[in-house]
Chains A and B, each alone.
Chain A
Amino acid sequence: MHDELVIYGEAYNSRVLIGTARYESPTHLVNAIRAADPALITVSLRRQVHENPISGESFWNILRYMGRPFLPNTAGCSTAKDAINTAMMAREVFATDLIKLEVIGDETNLQPDPFNLIEASEELVRRGFKVFPYCTDDLVLCKRLLDVGCEVLMPWAAPIGTGQGPRNPRALRELRERLPDVPLIVDAGLGLPSHACQVMEWGFDAVLINTAVSRSITPAVMAGAFADGVRAGRSGYLAGPMPVQELAVASTPEFGRPFSNEA
């Protein structure tokens, strides 16, 4: 079945986005990306640290070798101004208009700042960026982000790096129901392939994974498991799940049961 993910007019065959952070080695990173077969890989900008093998020129060479489109982020920014300037630098370095916009409002749980997020999104859209805002599951925030020109949303499942899975399923499902035509990518907080499968069954369009893969014992295997989970969840959603029943309904026909009193 032809089932592409379309974001900002660009079609992708995969519904997995994968981050490049917190891998133990470049080999783990490369193998995980291969196994995930992602639509996009997320990257960032940092001051050069010569001791880190997953940074600088060697990291750049790995990225180019993978041949996947980049989704740079503005991780660590807590003001709209910093996020905008980081996005501008990212566009120059990675030669893409795509930007995963992160503006953090609380350092403890790394929760997005809705006010600065909207301000930065509006300005970046004005400057020609295709903004992927990392946001909460707040419906009004999501609507405002759409109002200022975002064509995709990235609501969190749980705080970044926690692996808790969807903390507020009801809010996520309502978001999906209320915004049926907007590409929704669940970002942050997924820990298991079953979490990814679950949100895809709810009708989300894709997931972004990072720590769940990079901090697993075998990242490549976990990346493949997430990709399988995403495919299973998507297929289940498209297949149209049965309605949940309050009472048992026998699956085997009652009619013709041996030893019954039927004539």
Chain B
Amino acid sequence: VRETMAIIVNGKLQPLPAPATLEVLLHALRPSYPFAVALNNEFLPVASYELCLLSDGDSIEIVNPSAGG
């Protein structure tokens, strides 16, 4: 039986087969381009997605360009 874990993506619970990297998660979610990511409130540069192993309970923020003043 494959293990699953629960991570939080933009405030919502997201089940994910374990183990998984951030790249796997992003491949599944397909956020619109361009986007940036923070893991547990820390910015994560794009170059680190491939090696970033997610853990149960991790909190991910995925943000896109938006209107601002």
- From known contacts A47-B61, A47-B62, A92-B45, infer whether A55 and B34 are also in contact, taking CB-CB under 8 Å: no
What are the residues of chain A within 8 A of B65 when measuring CB–CB?
43-45, 55-56, 59-60, 63, 93-94
Closest CB in chain A relative to B12 CB, distance in Å: 10
Q: Which of B31, B33, B67 has the most CB of A within 10 A?
A: B67
Residue of A59, A93, A160 near B67 (CB, 8 A) is A59
> How far, in angstroms, from A45 to B43 measured CA to CA in the complex?
13
Chain B interface residue count, Cβ-Cβ cutoff 8 angstroms: 24
Instruction: Report whether A88 and B43 are in contact in the complex, using a CB–CB cutoff of 8 Å.
Output: yes
Shortest Cβ distance from B47 into A: residue: A92
> How far, in angstroms, from A50 to B11 measured CA to CA in the complex?
16
What are the residues of chain B within 8 A of A198 when measuring CB–CB?
none
B3 at the binding interface (Cβ < 8 Å): no
> How far, in angstroms, from A100 to B27 measured CA to CA in the complex?
31
What are the residues of chain B within 8 A of A45 when measuring CB–CB?
36, 63-66, 68
Closest CB in chain B relative to A75 CB, distance in Å: 6
Q: Could you tell me which residues of chain A, from 48 to 69, have a CB within 8 Å of some CB in chain B?
A: 48, 52, 54-57, 59-60, 63
Closest CB in chain A relative to B4 CB, distance in Å: 24
Closest CB in chain B relative to A40 CB, distance in Å: 12
Q: Could you tell me which residues of chain B, from 23 to 66, have a CB within 8 Å of some CB in chain A?
A: 31-38, 41-43, 45-46, 61-66
Residue of B33, B43, B61, B63 near A60 (CB, 8 A) is B33
Closest CB in chain A relative to B33 CB, distance in Å: 7
Instruction: Report whether B69 and A46 are in contact in the complex, using a CB–CB cutoff of 8 Å.
Output: no
Shortest Cβ distance from A79 into B: residue: B41
Further contacts, 16 of them, CB under 8 A, given A19-B68, A20-B69, A89-B36: A19-B69, A20-B67, A21-B67, A22-B69, A23-B67, A43-B65, A43-B67, A44-B68, A48-B32, A55-B66, A56-B66, A59-B67, A89-B37, A90-B36, A94-B65, A210-B69
Please give me the 4 A-B residue pairs with the lowest Cβ-Cβ distance, nearest first. Answer: A44-B68, A19-B69, A89-B36, A210-B69
